[in-house]
């Protein structure tokens, strides 16, 4: 019998995609106090159900797909490397709300994520870089960010988010028979 993850079975990819035992960590939280203002690093923020982070300038509509943004913490050094910098860039320069380490964010697309013990996010898509990256990072900033822009999410269940909180895939309830 072949190893269960190899072979021609169409469910092989589904099995691989569902295997995500890693637990991530919130490394950084940032809030925009006003339009076009630098993000301010905080150690805790309140995620409001179906809204945004309290104190953040962004005011997405209820049901919106971009209520909170996440960036892969490990990509800070990668983007800096593309720009020829020796030190990782600061998370606030990328204009995302959360920097997450230890778990591949792209593997979370279209999933629900638990942050800490209570916050539930629904990952809604990729957060592509914008022209502001040239302002923040200098010439080439936009292209350095391509493929490293992070994710957008909807806040399904709000509560405080703290630096150090665990980030894990939330198990989906099984349908009743």
| The predicted structure's pLDDT at residue 1 | 40
The encoded tokens of residue 55 equal 């104190």
Residue 35 is assigned to a structural domain of this protein: no
| The predicted structure's pLDDT at residue 19 | 75
Name beta bridge partners: 40: 31
Task: Identify the domain containing residue 152 by its residue range.
Answer: 62-166
| The predicted structure's pLDDT at residue 127 | 93
Say if CB 160 and CB 116 are below 8 A apart.
yes
Q: What is the pTM of this model?
A: 0.86
Domain count across the chain: 1
| The predicted structure's pLDDT at residue 49 | 97
85: domain CATH number? 2.40.33.20
The encoded tokens of residue 99 equal 């920097």
Residue 5 is assigned to a structural domain of this protein: no
Residue 37 is assigned to a structural domain of this protein: no
Residue 9 is assigned to a structural domain of this protein: no
Residue in 28, 23, 22, 24 with CA at minimum distance from that of residue 98: 28
Residue 102 is assigned to a structural domain of this protein: yes
Residue 72 is assigned to a structural domain of this protein: yes
Q: Within 13 Å of residue 97, how many CA atoms lie on the same side as its CB?
A: 26
* Average pLDDT for runs of 10 along the chain of length 177: 51 75 94 91 97 91 93 96 94 95 94 96 94 91 94 97 97 56
Residue 40 is assigned to a structural domain of this protein: no
Exposed, middle or buried by CB within 10 Å (0-12, 13-18, 19+), for 176? exposed
In degrees and rounded to multiples of 5, residue 70 shows phi and psi of -130, 145
Residue 16 is assigned to a structural domain of this protein: no
Count H helices and E strands in the chain, helices first.
4, 10
């Amino acid at each position: 019998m072949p190893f269960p993850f190899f072979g021609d079975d169409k469910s092989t990819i589904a099995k691989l995609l569902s295997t995500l035992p890693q637990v991530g960590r919130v490394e950084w939280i940032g809030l925009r106090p006003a339009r076009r203002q630098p993000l301010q690093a905080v150690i805790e923020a309140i995620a409001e159900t179906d809204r945004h982070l309290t104190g953040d300038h962004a005011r997405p509509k209820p049901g919106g797909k971009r209520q909170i943004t996440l960036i892969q913490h490990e990509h800070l050094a990668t983007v800096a490397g593309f720009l020829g910098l020796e030190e990782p860039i600061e998370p606030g320069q990328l204009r995302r709300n959360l920097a997450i380490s230890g778990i591949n964010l792209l593997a979370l697309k279209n999933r629900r994520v638990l942050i800490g013990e209570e916050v539930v996010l629904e990952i809604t898509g990729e957060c592509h870089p914008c022209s502001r990256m040239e302002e923040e990072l200098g010439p080439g900033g936009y292209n350095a960010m391509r493929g490293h822009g992070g994710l957008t999410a909807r806040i399904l269940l709000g509560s405080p988010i703290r630096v150090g909180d665990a980030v894990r895939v939330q198990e989906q309830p099984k349908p009743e028979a």
